[in-house]
Structures are given as structure tokens and as C-alpha cells.
Amino acid sequence: MGFAIVVVAVICLVGYGVYRLFNQLGDPVNEEKSDAYYYATDGNSLVYSPMGNWFELGKTSFQADLPSFEVLSKSYAKDKNNAYHMYRTIKTAVDIPSFTVKFDNVPMDKNHVYSLQTNCDTAQTKVCLQIIKGADPKTFKKLDFAFSIDKQHVYYNDTIAPALDPKTFSSVNDYFYKDKLGVYLHQINKPLQKIAANPENTQMLSSTIIRDAQSIYMFLSYGRELIVIPFTDSSSILVGPDSQFLRADEHIYYKGKVVPNVDAESFQLVSKGYFIDKNSVYFQDQRIEKADVSTFTMIKYQYGKDKNHVFFEGKIMENADVNSFRYNKEKLQFEDKNHIYRWGKPKS
């Protein structure tokens, strides 16, 4: 027992010695603004290490004027002579005294707003900044990863979008934008698409669905498809939590397509793709023929049951015992008196 304790102590000491040998991180320069900039342990240089995790993410030492060195954001800094992105000197001539970073990653000075260019130096020791043409640093705002505005322009991927109005341009949800001139669908690596919606009464229904006074606009991101659903009664509109189910007027939609023969008035979402009306149980867009709506309950995930059957993703589990089937919280498994189940089937 004593020998084992000695061995463990030696291993710990060796590990600590290795850590001390290779670790060059001293105190953080400004941990409120960045978890990546550190003073070196020698006191004469700086170290850039993302999240301070030098063991897994690496570290790079670099030289700067320590008395004037200032962290600007997570990955930008400056001293009296240079500006830096991470540990690389910014090659572009910027106004150092006014150089700053806003919105966490937008560099600017009193004269210009910039975007980062990382391929300007074959040696990979420096980076460049490209002037965003026309951008006013005093009024420039980053809206999201694709759009920015200032007092004169809307910018799409750092280029002026002349057809958009900066005074009224805003996002509706993750995919739709609007200004006083129109409503637009944005898809990555595709031109902005103007749609027929009226900007005066366009509003968000979910992260992928909007509506105006006459139609619902649903964007199916996985299929890159815009679906337009007209309606007459706005009070009938109901969107499911996952945005796949939608009720409008007398119809129920799943992924933008009508589910036939559903009683919209008694429509009720259950969970995980299941819904019911006064007559039936459904999974996604299919009616479950043998399900008893009066006794149907959800168990967990895609499992449900009624008085006669257990269901997985809307299909009857032929071997499952209804009375004993349950989710075992302690063992994190679905089981009945005979089997343990995985993906709706007994485990072999």
C-alpha cells in the first residue's frame, strides 16, 4: 500500500514537472476581453493560446511592446506600433491610436471599417485587412454573420447592397429580412431573394416561418424550398415547436404539405412527431391505423402506447408487452417484462 502511494506521488510529480516545462502561460493580459492572450512566463513576450488550452489547442509566442499592449477583443490586440490578429501582425496600414474592434470581430479605426483577409502573406506571419468600401465607422453596426448597416447602406457579406434601405432593414427571423421596399429570403451562398410578402404586416411565426396578412411563408432549410400557404383566418394559425407542423384555416400541414382528413378544430400536438385529433392518432403525416386515440399516451422520445399496442415512430412494436412497457430512468433504457428495446426493436 505504501509503495503504491509512493508510485502515485512520483507520477504526479513527473506530470507536474512536464507541465511546468512546456507551459509558457503566465497571467492573462485581459481575461474580460479575451481568454487567449497571456504574458509569457519569462516576462519578455506574449503567448496566444485559445482558451488557455495550450495542451490541446496549442500556443504561439510573439513579440509586442508590452507596456502599450492592449487586448481589443477575443482575437484582436494592438500596441503603440502595430495591430494584431491573434498573434500575427496586421500588415495593412491602420490608424493605431483609433484602431478598435466592435461587435467582437469587426475591426475599424477613425477612417474605415475592415474585414479580415488571411491569405495576403505566403509566410503566414502577417494578415491583412480589407477596407469595406463606403462603410462609416461611426454608424456601422453588425446585424448578423451576413448583414451589416450604417447610416447610408446595407452591406451583404461586406459589400454594399444598393437595393436595400438601411433605415428600415431588419431581420424577421433566421432566414427572412425586410425593409420598407420588400421582404427577402436569405440562403447561404445564394443571392438575396425578394418574395411576395407585404413588409408592412410581415411577422415571425418561428425561426423558419413568417406570415403577412394573407399568406404563410415556410422555408424548408434541408430541401432549400420556400413554401407559400394562403390563409383567411389568422386566429387559426398554430405552429408546432419544431416548425414542422402547422395549422392554418381547416388544414394541418407537415413540412409544408397537407395531411389529409385531419380535423383541424380538434388538432393537438403530442410530442416527437405525434399528434391527435378527435378521431385518430398520427405520426408525422401518416394516420396510425390501429391506434386508440382515447387511450394514447407518450412514453418518451418516439415511443408511445395505447391500451392495445406500443408504438415506435408510429409503427406497432409487435413483441412489446403493453402493460409492462416503460422507460427505465435509472438504466436509461426502454423495457418490458420480456425485453430491452433499442430503436423500437428487442436487443439481441
- pLDDT tens, residue by residue, 110-150: 999 999 987 777 667 789 999 999 999 999 999 999 999 99
| 275-285 average pLDDT score | 98
Q: Are 109 and 95 in contact, with CB atoms under 8 Å apart? A: yes
pLDDT for residue 220: 93
Q: Are residues 249 and 308 in the same domain?
A: no
Q: For residues 44 and 40, what is the distance between their CA atoms, to the nearest angstrom?
A: 7
Q: Is 2 contained in some domain?
A: no
Q: Are 173 and 162 in contact, with CB atoms under 8 Å apart? A: no
Q: Are residues 59 and 110 in the same domain?
A: yes
Report the number of distinct structural domains present in the chain: 4
| 251-261 average pLDDT score | 97
Domain range for 340: 266-348
Does residue 33 register a pLDDT over 50? yes
**Amino acid identity for residue 294 in this structure:** S
Q: Are residues 35 and 67 in the same domain?
A: yes
Which residues sit opposite 179 in a β-bridge?
A: 182
From 131, 155, 189, the end of a domain falls on: 131
The model's pLDDT over 194-218, given as tens digits with 9 standing for 90+, comes to 999 999 999 999 999 999 999 999 9
pLDDT for residue 5: 55
DSSP 239-281: E-TTSSEEEETTEEEETTEEPTT--GGG-EEEETTEEE-SS-E
Query: What whole-number percentage of the chain has pLDDT above 90?
Result: 85
Q: Is 39 contained in some domain?
A: yes
Q: Is 6 contained in some domain?
A: no
Q: Is 87 contained in some domain?
A: yes
**Amino acid identity for residue 24 in this structure:** Q
pLDDT band for 10, please (50, 70, 90 cuts).
very low
pLDDT band for 22, please (50, 70, 90 cuts).
low
Q: Are residues 213 and 308 in the same domain?
A: no
Please give the model's pTM, rounded to 2 decimal places.
0.82
From 131, 158, 188, the end of a domain falls on: 131
Q: Are residues 296 and 335 in the same domain?
A: yes
For 243: left if phi > 0, alpha if psi spans -120 to 50, otherwise beta; the answer is: left
Query: What whole-number percentage of the chain has pLDDT above 70?
Result: 92
Does residue 21 register a pLDDT over 70? no
pLDDT for residue 19: 44
Q: Are residues 160 and 183 in the same domain?
A: no
| 223-237 average pLDDT score | 95
pLDDT for residue 11: 52
In whole numbers, what is the pLDDT of the chain averaged over residues? 92
Q: For residues 152 and 163, what is the distance between their CA atoms, to the nearest angstrom?
A: 12
Using only C-alpha atoms, the chain has a radius of gyration, in whole angstroms, of 30
pLDDT for residue 223: 80
pLDDT for residue 18: 44
pLDDT band for 234, please (50, 70, 90 cuts).
very high
Q: Is 1 contained in some domain?
A: no
Strands 170-171 and 176-179: antiparallel
First to last CA, the chain: 43
Q: Are residues 161 and 173 in the same domain?
A: no
Q: Is 9 contained in some domain?
A: no
Q: Are 219 and 208 in contact, with CB atoms under 8 Å apart? A: yes
DSSP 146-178: SEEE-SS-EEETTEE-TTS-TTT-EESSSSEEE
pLDDT band for 156, please (50, 70, 90 cuts).
very high
Say which DSSP state 57 is in. H
Q: Is 116 contained in some domain?
A: yes
Q: Is 4 contained in some domain?
A: no
pLDDT top residue among 345 and 8: 345
Does residue 167 register a pLDDT over 60? yes
Q: Are residues 136 and 125 in the same domain?
A: no
Does residue 334 register a pLDDT over 50? yes
Comparing CA positions, the residue from 255, 251, 210, 207 lying closest to residue 233 is 251
Q: Are residues 118 and 147 in the same domain?
A: no
Q: Are residues 338 and 328 in the same domain?
A: yes
Q: Are residues 154 and 185 in the same domain?
A: no
Q: Which cell numbers in the block locate residue 115?
A: 474585414
From 109, 131, 153, the end of a domain falls on: 131
Q: Are residues 44 and 61 in the same domain?
A: yes
Does residue 23 register a pLDDT over 90? no
